[in-house]
Structure 1
Amino acid sequence: MASTSELKIGQKLNEGKTKQIFELLEPPGRVLVQSKDQITAGNAVRKDQMEGKAAIANKTTSCLFKLLQESGIKTAFVKQHSDTAFIAAHCEMIPIEWVCRRVATGSFLKRNPGVKEGYRFSPLKMEMFFKDDANNDPQWSEEQLLEAKFCLAGVTIGQCEVDIMNRSTVAIFEILERAWATQNCTLVDMKIEFGVNVKTQEVVLADVIDNDSWRLWPAGDRSQQKDKQVYRDLKEVTPEAMQMVKRNFEWVSERVKLLLESQASGRVVVLMGSTSDLAHCEKIKKACSSYGISCILRVTSAHKGPDETLRIKAEYEGDGVPTVFVAVAGRSNGLGPVMSGNTAYPVINCPPLTPDWGAQDVWSSLRMPSGLGCSTILSPESAAQFAAQIFGLTNHLVWCKLRASMLNTWVSLKLADQKLQACSI
């Protein structure tokens, strides 16, 4: 990777316990986030150098932000620049740590006596803490955050922004939780921060997510914890103890690469009764592509060539790749029922509607003989989404895209409402 000397670096904008932020002169609106070989606990009450930590933290953050971005989460991350630094959009940081908990442990137990360690939160437990080292980052309520009226990059943090950060924190946690489950690791809790992009004025996930940011228990077993809690729990900081902490951090940084890899393959095979339906089928293929799902288009007629239809079906059953068939046939739809009656794979009817007989034709897809389980979805994009939901049961990358899409739909509605309310005043 390129060295930092090749960048046009401006002034230092900020320095924390584990990183430095530098302005980038070209292109404007970006910063360099440089990690440090320092590990701290208890607001730096305990502080030590850990050789190689900067590279480990940067590698971890870069992989995690790439996973989130590919899922569809808006972040400040742009790209990894070097072993110890990455480039990000310049954000004015909102001084709140958002903490999301799946399992009760740590400080939550101290603040909530009577709750046993291991209590599982469903839905997730949300908390927020004001970043104030002098006062040990006090817990804040939503009302305190609203009353603070933070104004950052021209945006006043109000109810809309708070709601977006709240929803986003839950979605980000669930995406990372689902990803870590592929490695048989329980994401116990996590803290993240948001900033306002100075160019777009959007609230986005910013700062870093590394092994300082969470509790991670392999096989759900606290005794195997791989996060910074191991460092916090040290009775005495010795070279041997620090080597153990470093090995845990390295273990995590190696595993996060695996979170970007699909654990299961899958494809959608669209069968159309005629090439006159090609435009309809192309919409299905395009939507499948947005979920990272392979989509193959074929032409066959269950009425005019049933033997060929069944031969094509057998072609995709024979290689062991999980498949969802989508039958695109107007008028009398025999394609979907014939496929459904002859395969154990899922079949989705997605008939193209015509202005003359569309309403009547759709009944041939809805009224199935007994023993057939194919569904009918009229929108090509929705048919692809349903196929993605099927694959998402076993493919975490597809599931993560679906989860991020849910969040983005909710955020777009929230922002549209906010804009309308502003126009109405």
Structure 2
Amino acid sequence: MATAEVLNIGKKLYEGKTKEVYELLDCPGQVLLQSKDQITAGNAARKNHMEGKAAISNKTTSCIFELLRGAGIKTAFVRQHGETAFIAPRCEMVPIEWVCRRIATGSFLKRNPGVEEGYRFNPPKVEMFFKDDANNDPQWSREQIIAAKFCFAGLDIGQTEVDIMDRTTQAIFEILEKSWSTQNCTLVDMKVEFGVDVTTKEIVLADVIDNDSWRLWPLGDRRLQKDKQSYRDLKEVTPEGLQMVKKNFEWVAERVELLLKPQSVSRVVILMGSTSDLEHCTQIKKACEGFGMPCELRVTSAHKGPEETLRIKAEYEGDGIPTVFVAVAGRSNGLGPVLSGNTVYPVLNCPPLDSEWGAQDVWSSLRLPGGVCCSTILSPQGAARLAAQILGLNDHLVWARLRASLLNMWISLKQADKKIRASSSSEGTPFSF
């Protein structure tokens, strides 16, 4: 492992049960999160030293934060520093644990008698708990969080902020659930925390996500659990018991690196009828790459060279790589229909429209003979998104970017609504009926 850079570490800002936070004197607005070789349960009612846990937890957190950041989730993570620490933006933490559940088990059953273990929540169920060790982290409602009138780093935590944290919790869970499924492992539930970045004043996923944060059941079998529940379930903590728990943590840390890698190879191939369509095709290619999809550009005309068009099509069918074809042809679009009529791969039309003949030209992409089924999307970004929805079915990293993009679009609307309401209120705009 490469030697970690030398940091000018300042005072300790916080110490918890399993980590310490230090200021970085040469990096204003950033901190160092140092993990500890300590494992706890029941708000530290049970506490043990577990050699190597700091490195295991730091590796798990760093990989998960890299995965989520790569998808487009705003996270308090800059980079890993050595084996047991990582650098993060400095945040003021919101004292709420957000718990997302797919399967009913654990404390949920105790608080909700009558619900059978294994009940599946669709959509995932989100719950909130106020961080208060003395009172065993009581469950809070959304209304209680809003009524608390929290303010962190100058940001008031109101309805909008609570809604953002709620939606983000669910998105994070679904991304990690999809990712763990590639390892034949069921993400049963998990907890996350948020902070307000002191520099950007944004709500970001903060703290850590490690093997203390979730329940993981390989093959969906609780008896194979690899999370901290194996430590909680120990009737007596013995060296042998701790070694078993450590092996479970190591199992997770080994596999979490695999979540950063695509489980399948796929691509988008854009075929244009003429290089005059290159600018339009470049927009599609850029949008595809934003979803993490490799994209190739080709030039062919189904009218002028149908044999060559079918030869290019066969070239991509021959290597077995899942492919979405995007046909870019204006005027009379024969390219998309010819491709669709001769392949089992998905074909999307994305014709470049001009102001003079656009309305008439589009009909050649829409009006198709029977047995031919290529979708038509006029927006380059929309064509890329549909390609991502197709390929994301078998690529969890593409799927993760799609899921995060849905979240971020929703957050943008929510924040715009808050801003316009605040502006209207400050200007004294009267309501009209």
Coordinate RMSD, CA, aligned: 0.7
State the alpha-carbon separation in 1 of the partners of residues 3 and 414 from structure 2: 40
Determine the structure 1 residue equivalent to 2:22: 22
Determine the structure 1 residue equivalent to 2:95: 95
Q: What SS does the corresponding residue of 1:378 show, helix, strand or coil?
A: coil
Determine the structure 2 residue equivalent to 1:304: 304
> Are 1:395 and 2:381 an aligned pair?
no
State the alpha-carbon separation in 2 of the partners of residues 343 and 155 from structure 1: 54
Cα offset for 1:154? 0.4
State the alpha-carbon separation in 2 of the partners of residues 314 and 127 from structure 1: 51
Deviation track 1:311-343 (CA, whole Å, cap 9, x = no partner) reads 111111111111111111111101111111111
**8 Å Cα contact 1:2/1:81 also seen in 2:** no
State the alpha-carbon separation in 2 of the partners of residues 303 and 143 from structure 1: 63
Instruction: Supply the AA of the counterpart residue of 2:356.
Output: D
State the alpha-carbon separation in 2 of the partners of residues 158 and 73 from structure 1: 21
Cα offset for 1:11? 1.0
State the alpha-carbon separation in 2 of the partners of residues 231 and 267 from structure 1: 43
Deviation track 1:187-243 (CA, whole Å, cap 9, x = no partner) reads 000000000000000000000000000111001100000000000000111101100
Determine the structure 2 residue equivalent to 1:373: 373
> Are 1:11 and 2:43 an aligned pair?
no
What pairs up with 1:78-117 in 2 under 5 angstroms? 78-117=78-117
State the alpha-carbon separation in 2 of the partners of residues 165 and 276 from structure 1: 46
State the alpha-carbon separation in 2 of the partners of residues 28 and 345 from structure 1: 51
**8 Å Cα contact 1:272/1:281 also seen in 2:** yes
Cα offset for 1:292? 1.1
Cα offset for 1:165? 0.1
Instruction: Supply the AA of the counterpart residue of 1:185.
Output: C
State the alpha-carbon separation in 1 of the partners of residues 327 and 136 from structure 2: 60
What pairs up with 1:240-255 in 2 under 5 angstroms? 240-255=240-255
Determine the structure 2 residue equivalent to 1:357: 357
State the alpha-carbon separation in 1 of the partners of residues 157 and 294 from structure 2: 41
Q: What SS does the corresponding residue of 2:223 show, helix, strand or coil?
A: helix
Determine the structure 1 residue equivalent to 2:236: 236
Determine the structure 2 residue equivalent to 1:410: 410
Q: What SS does the corresponding residue of 2:209 show, helix, strand or coil?
A: coil
Q: Structure 1 368/143 Cα, relative in aligned 2: closer, same or farther at 3 Å?
A: same
Instruction: Supply the AA of the counterpart residue of 2:353.
Output: L
Determine the structure 1 residue equivalent to 2:214: 214
State the alpha-carbon separation in 2 of the partners of residues 377 and 244 from structure 1: 54
Task: State the aligned residue count.
Answer: 424
State the alpha-carbon separation in 1 of the partners of residues 30 and 361 from structure 2: 55
Cα offset for 1:422? 1.0
State the alpha-carbon separation in 2 of the partners of residues 151 and 53 from structure 1: 34
State the alpha-carbon separation in 2 of the partners of residues 3 and 405 from structure 1: 33
> Are 1:339 and 2:339 an aligned pair?
yes
Deviation track 1:267-315 (CA, whole Å, cap 9, x = no partner) reads 1111111111000000011011101111111111111111111111111
Q: What SS does the corresponding residue of 2:190 show, helix, strand or coil?
A: strand
Q: What SS does the corresponding residue of 1:246 show, helix, strand or coil?
A: helix
Deviation track 1:235-273 (CA, whole Å, cap 9, x = no partner) reads 111101100000000000001001111111111111111
State the alpha-carbon separation in 2 of the partners of residues 362 and 113 from structure 1: 59
**8 Å Cα contact 1:29/1:199 also seen in 2:** yes
Determine the structure 2 residue equivalent to 1:66: 66
Q: What SS does the corresponding residue of 2:67 show, helix, strand or coil?
A: helix
**8 Å Cα contact 1:271/1:326 also seen in 2:** yes
**8 Å Cα contact 1:153/1:201 also seen in 2:** yes
State the alpha-carbon separation in 1 of the partners of residues 346 and 144 from structure 2: 50
State the alpha-carbon separation in 2 of the partners of residues 360 and 226 from structure 1: 60
> Are 1:49 and 2:49 an aligned pair?
yes
Q: What SS does the corresponding residue of 1:189 show, helix, strand or coil?
A: strand
> Are 1:204 and 2:197 an aligned pair?
no
State the alpha-carbon separation in 2 of the partners of residues 142 and 307 from structure 1: 63
Cα offset for 1:2? 4.1
State the alpha-carbon separation in 2 of the partners of residues 3 and 409 from structure 1: 37
**8 Å Cα contact 1:62/1:86 also seen in 2:** yes
Instruction: Supply the AA of the counterpart residue of 2:156.
Output: T
State the alpha-carbon separation in 1 of the partners of residues 341 and 259 from structure 2: 37
State the alpha-carbon separation in 2 of the partners of residues 395 and 388 from structure 1: 9
Deviation track 1:54-74 (CA, whole Å, cap 9, x = no partner) reads 000000000000000001000
Gap runs ≥5 in structure 1: none
Cα offset for 1:369? 0.3
State the alpha-carbon separation in 1 of the partners of residues 215 and 252 from structure 2: 11
State the alpha-carbon separation in 2 of the partners of residues 138 and 160 from structure 1: 23
Determine the structure 1 residue equivalent to 2:169: 169
Q: Percent identity?
A: 75
Determine the structure 1 residue equivalent to 2:76: 76
**8 Å Cα contact 1:194/1:205 also seen in 2:** yes
State the alpha-carbon separation in 1 of the partners of residues 207 and 322 from structure 2: 39
> Are 1:295 and 2:290 an aligned pair?
no
**8 Å Cα contact 1:211/1:227 also seen in 2:** yes
State the alpha-carbon separation in 2 of the partners of residues 102 and 2 from structure 1: 40
Scaled by the length of structure 2, the TM-score of the pair is 0.97
State the alpha-carbon separation in 1 of the partners of residues 107 and 202 from structure 2: 32
Determine the structure 1 residue equivalent to 2:323: 323
Determine the structure 1 residue equivalent to 2:134: 134
